[in-house]
A and B are shown apart, each in its own frame.
Chain A
Amino acid sequence: MRVAVLASETDFDGWRLAARAFRLAGVAPGEARFVVGEDLQGGLFDAAAGEGESALPDKARPLRVPQAFVDMAHDVVLHRTPDRFDLLYRILWRLQAERDLMRVRSDRDVSDAMDRQRNVSRASHKMKAFVRFRQAFDEEGECWVAWFEPAHRVLARTAPFFANRFTTMRWSILTPDGSCFWDGKAMSFGPPAQASDAPQEDEIEEFWKTYYASTFNPARLKTKTMQGEMPKRYWKNLPEAALIPELVAASAVRTETMVGTPHSEPNARLAKAIFRHNRDGAFEEGFSPSNLDELRHGVQACRRCPLWRDATQGVCGEGPPRAKLMIVGEQPGDHEDLAGRPFVGPAGQLLNDAFREAGIDRDEAFVTNAVKHFKHEPRGKRRLHRTPTTSEVTACRWWLDHERALVRPKVVLTLGSTATLGVLGRKVTVTRERGMPIPLTDGSHALVTVHPAYLLRLPDEAARRREHAVFIQDLKRVRQLL
């Protein structure tokens, strides 16, 4: 049996030196033992690892281990189980023959070590959560002191968290393993402490307990979940935990009372308040908008088809109320739906450029859509555009007709087949009817062309250029008609 003496319970460097020496000397896992300082008992002592170590210069025969092992070992050393050093040594030993061992998380040793690593990081996390500072005063003024008993030896590992968070406070955390002090600039460590070394009260604690008790809903008792997350071992140092028995005991009665109490009479302020704040009247059939503002409000309340349900808002047309040209698109897209304005997305950008190229002032046109609500399908964190059905377009035509009647344009440019359906009330093949004026009953003309989104989607450059040219031609046609 070979024994190495480590300086402290968390002496990672000591373990590493000794383990390396053992490994190079061929000491098998069962033959090596690691003990901490005074724990050492005479009979077991064989040869301190240090001696073997100095006889073998590091660089001559380096031991190669994956970084993942070193990282894990740093954590596992903090675990309270006495055999943690032996376990690590066993893995170190095996790593020399099994290069990929660290990646085999299903291996017994590896998964054992990883479980302990997880325990350690959980203990560190719980320390961040459950340390409770109490206010105190010393010669230099205000300072903050906490007494804490971590599940594993995570004080040094966790202390930087507190330094980052409470940089401008002077604080100390006292634990049975050691103490940590922060003076506003630097961290230092001291010997183990006792609960009585920390202040015993803090007046704000009463407020905290009040809050804790009030924020708990007695109708939803789930004590198992609570205990899973806040294990009992921590309770004695958590001021609020003292309330738990009482809260649990009273909750059944409180819930029964709530459920059993008859509904209360509404108080008198109600009627007045409701009256004052009942803002939007619902949309009703029979209503017909007499100006664009009314139309806009009407669309927000429209339920003529189901599209309103998943959309953010109805998006109505925009532009001079007496525009000579009306441009009708298909429906608002993702951005239009959020912004509440038509053609603010990429297709709108393309449209602007094309208009400039064709010599038409886009600002003089009234821009709108055949369908006012965004039709889409959720796909993860995005929404995929979907083409409205004929019945939806037909339902929404009611609004488009009113919009046209109010604006009274001379030319209506329809972009794509849905838009055309909305204006003409019949399906057309865009490629067949594009570019030629179609007389409408009110004396104006419709002109059919493709939707700019179609141009955006064309994959190859040549086709895009060709189509773009035709599109510009259509727009120039519009200019002649105006």
Chain B
Amino acid sequence: MAQLDLRKKLSVLADAAKYDASCSSSGTGKRNSIGGKGIGSTEGMGICHAYTPDGRCVSLLKILLTNFCIYDCAYCINRVSSNVQRARFSVQEVVDLTLNFYRRNYIEGLFLSSGIIQSGDYTMEQLVLVAKSLRLDHDFRGYIHLKLIPEADPRLVEEAGLYADRLSANIEVPREEALTRLAPQKDLAVIKKAMGQVRLKVEAAKPQKKDRIKPPKFAPGGQSTQLIVGADGAPDTEILDRSASLYGGYGLRRVYYSAFSPIPDSSAALPLSKPPLMREHRLYQADWLMRFYGFSAPEIGEATTGGMLDLAVDPKLAWALNRRELFPVNVNTADREALLRVPGLGVKSVDRMISVRRYRTLRLEDVARLCRGIDKVRPFITALDWTPGGLTDAVDLRARLTPTVEPVQMSLF
């Protein structure tokens, strides 16, 4: 095969990586390049350097080392049976691209994944080599996210954690049965074991009081995973249960949901349709409720139909409409937990309200200034000059709070 020029390779290997939803460069500690020989810094919160027309941010150079793969996962464009064009970067090429992009302030760092070539061990070794070269040869202090090849030797996973800020292994298909069908060579148990190993290592690297010497940092940005939505028939409740189990079991920082999107050269095992973007959005909202609002997966499940989240209203509103006996909540006296359950009130709004009400008794107008939109909130609260009366229990409340015109994708031009 003729040697592909570097730009061509970049387009092939970035294209192949775009179905991975994780892009964030957050969660790691603070670093800078002062006193060093290289460049780079991290601030804890990642920076999105650009946004593509699909609304997603570009924070990292997200590419595959190669899209050759010996596996045949039906949902993956790189499966061995696909006829896509193949390419492979050398370790040096990835290192150079990363540094060149970073110096120009295009990116926060690198997110490197790969198709599996030769063996899991060999592939993982190549990924680790890139990270190692960036860190050791170039004193690079930016963000590095490496994809774990779950079946790789635990020693390689351990080495990866020394250089990377974040590690991730993708579950991809929420249903084990479907995974077996769609990804015959993948084994959920192996993926889970790898994640379990990362959690143990992360915990072991947390400095204890008794330690004289701090243990070396291990993946300070933690780990994440991705679930593809809409490829295997799993309903939302099942997906959320799986997430809850993953958050609890492996201390994941994030579970990403990726609406299954058609891929060129697709396999007969999968639906050919536009990706269910609204469903993906609702799942993120539900996930958010679990992580920051004290909702459990079964609670969110209460307001679903046939296991599916309501597409017309957000999951918190759906839940509240279902549990009207708990409302209205008095914004001047209710505790934080109760306020957090009011539709339309976010963590920030609630905390501000609690701080303001020490000095003022809140009127509806005050609440309006502290939250994003008062319409959704109004039926569920009482304030000094406001009570919703029968509104809370109105039969048509759901209709009133549902946008009458379906939001249409706005055109830019």
A residues neighboring B (CB under 8 Å): 100, 103-106, 108, 111, 125, 128-135, 144, 146, 161-162, 164-169, 202, 204-208, 210-227, 229-230, 238, 240-241, 244-245, 247-248, 251, 255, 258-259, 261, 263-264, 266-267, 269-270, 273-274, 276-280, 282, 300, 309-310, 312-313, 335, 337-340, 376, 378-383
Q: CA of A451 to CA of B36 in the docked complex: distance in angstroms? A: 54
Contact between chains at A167 and B50 (CB < 8 Å): no
Q: B141-172, CB under 8 A of A: which get 1 and which 0? A: 00000000000000000000000000000000
Given A106-B369, A267-B80; A168-B54 close (CB under 8 Å): no
5 A-B pairs with CB atoms under 8 Å apart are A202-B104, A227-B412, A258-B266, A273-B71, A274-B184
Contact between chains at A220 and B54 (CB < 8 Å): yes
Contact between chains at B58 and A270 (CB < 8 Å): no
B residues neighboring A (CB under 8 Å): 6-7, 10-12, 14-15, 17-19, 32-41, 43, 47-58, 61-63, 70-72, 80-83, 97, 100-101, 103-106, 176, 180, 184-185, 187, 189, 192-193, 195-197, 199-200, 244-245, 247-251, 259, 261-268, 272-275, 277, 294, 296-297, 352, 355-356, 358-360, 362, 365-367, 369-370, 409-413
Contact between chains at A378 and B32 (CB < 8 Å): no
Assuming A100-B359, A210-B11, what are 17 further A-B pairs, CB within 8 angstroms?
A106-B365, A108-B369, A130-B49, A207-B7, A207-B97, A215-B18, A217-B56, A221-B53, A224-B409, A225-B51, A245-B413, A258-B264, A258-B266, A261-B264, A266-B81, A273-B80, A279-B187
B contact residues around A207 at 8 Å (CB) = 6-7, 10, 97, 100-101
Find B356's partner among A103, A125, A224, A379 (CB 8 Å cutoff): A103
Q: CA of A164 to CA of B43 in the docked complex: distance in angstroms? A: 10
User: Taking each of A128, A208, A247, which has the highest tally of chain B beta carbons within 10 Å of its own beta carbon?
Assistant: A208
B contact residues around A300 at 8 Å (CB) = 189
Contact between chains at A210 and B7 (CB < 8 Å): yes
Q: CA of A249 to CA of B75 in the docked complex: distance in angstroms? A: 26
Nearest-Cβ distance from residue B110 to partner chain A, whole angstroms: 12
Q: CA of A382 to CA of B47 in the docked complex: distance in angstroms? A: 29
B contact residues around A255 at 8 Å (CB) = 262, 274
Contact between chains at A223 and B410 (CB < 8 Å): yes
Contact between chains at B55 and A223 (CB < 8 Å): yes
Find A217's partner among B18, B39, B267, B369 (CB 8 Å cutoff): B18
Given A104-B360, A223-B410, A378-B249; A217-B19 close (CB under 8 Å): yes
Nearest-Cβ distance from residue A86 to partner chain B, whole angstroms: 21
A contact residues around B352 at 8 Å (CB) = 105-106
Given A278-B185, A312-B196, A340-B193; A219-B370 close (CB under 8 Å): no
Contact between chains at B251 and A210 (CB < 8 Å): no
Q: CA of A244 to CA of B274 in the docked complex: distance in angstroms? A: 21
Nearest-Cβ distance from residue B272 to partner chain A, whole angstroms: 5
Contact between chains at B355 and A206 (CB < 8 Å): no
A contact residues around B180 at 8 Å (CB) = 282
Find A219's partner among B195, B248, B262, B360 (CB 8 Å cutoff): B262
B contact residues around A338 at 8 Å (CB) = 196-197, 199-200, 249-250
B contact residues around A251 at 8 Å (CB) = 53
B contact residues around A247 at 8 Å (CB) = 52-53
Q: CA of A282 to CA of B176 in the docked complex: distance in angstroms? A: 12
Contact between chains at B356 and A106 (CB < 8 Å): yes
Q: CA of A95 to CA of B36 in the docked complex: distance in angstroms? A: 46
Q: CA of A135 to CA of B101 in the docked complex: distance in angstroms? A: 11
Find A312's partner among B18, B187, B192, B259 (CB 8 Å cutoff): B192
Q: CA of A225 to CA of B261 in the docked complex: distance in angstroms? A: 18
Instruction: Please name the residue on chain A nearest to B199 by beta carbon.
Output: A338
Nearest-Cβ distance from residue B413 to partner chain A, whole angstroms: 6
Contact between chains at A269 and B81 (CB < 8 Å): yes
Given A263-B268, A264-B266; A214-B11 close (CB under 8 Å): yes
Query: Top 5 closest A-B pairs, CB basis?
Result: A225-B55, A222-B55, A378-B248, A266-B81, A338-B196
Find A105's partner among B11, B49, B356 (CB 8 Å cutoff): B356
Contact between chains at B10 and A168 (CB < 8 Å): no
Q: CA of A167 to CA of B19 in the docked complex: distance in angstroms? A: 34
Given A129-B49, A168-B37, A214-B14; A204-B55 close (CB under 8 Å): no
Contact between chains at A278 and B184 (CB < 8 Å): yes
Nearest-Cβ distance from residue A280 to partner chain B, whole angstroms: 6
Given A164-B33, A383-B248; A144-B10 close (CB under 8 Å): no
Find A167's partner among B33, B71, B266 (CB 8 Å cutoff): B33
Nearest-Cβ distance from residue B126 to partner chain A, whole angstroms: 19
Q: CA of A125 to CA of B267 in the docked complex: distance in angstroms? A: 42
Instruction: Please name the residue on chain B nearest to A111 by beta carbon.
Output: B369
Given A106-B356, A166-B33; A215-B105 close (CB under 8 Å): no
Q: CA of A168 to CA of B33 in the docked complex: distance in angstroms? A: 8
User: Taking each of A106, A131, A164, A277, which has the highest tally of chain B beta carbons within 10 Å of its own beta carbon?
Assistant: A106
Find B249's partner among A129, A220, A282, A312 (CB 8 Å cutoff): A312
B contact residues around A279 at 8 Å (CB) = 185, 187
A contact residues around B362 at 8 Å (CB) = 106
Instruction: Please name the residue on chain A nearest to B195 by beta carbon.
Output: A312
B contact residues around A270 at 8 Å (CB) = 72, 80-81
B contact residues around A276 at 8 Å (CB) = 70
B contact residues around A273 at 8 Å (CB) = 70-72, 80, 185
Contact between chains at A105 and B369 (CB < 8 Å): yes
User: Taking each of A130, A165, A261, A309, which has the highest tally of chain B beta carbons within 10 Å of its own beta carbon?
Assistant: A165
Nearest-Cβ distance from residue A239 to partner chain B, whole angstroms: 9
Contact between chains at B58 and A215 (CB < 8 Å): yes
Contact between chains at B18 and A164 (CB < 8 Å): no
Given A207-B97, A223-B412; A103-B54 close (CB under 8 Å): no
Find B248's partner among A213, A278, A309, A381 (CB 8 Å cutoff): A381
B contact residues around A146 at 8 Å (CB) = 105
Contact between chains at A267 and B82 (CB < 8 Å): yes
Nearest-Cβ distance from residue A428 to partner chain B, whole angstroms: 32
Instruction: Please name the residue on chain A nearest to B33 by beta carbon.
Output: A167
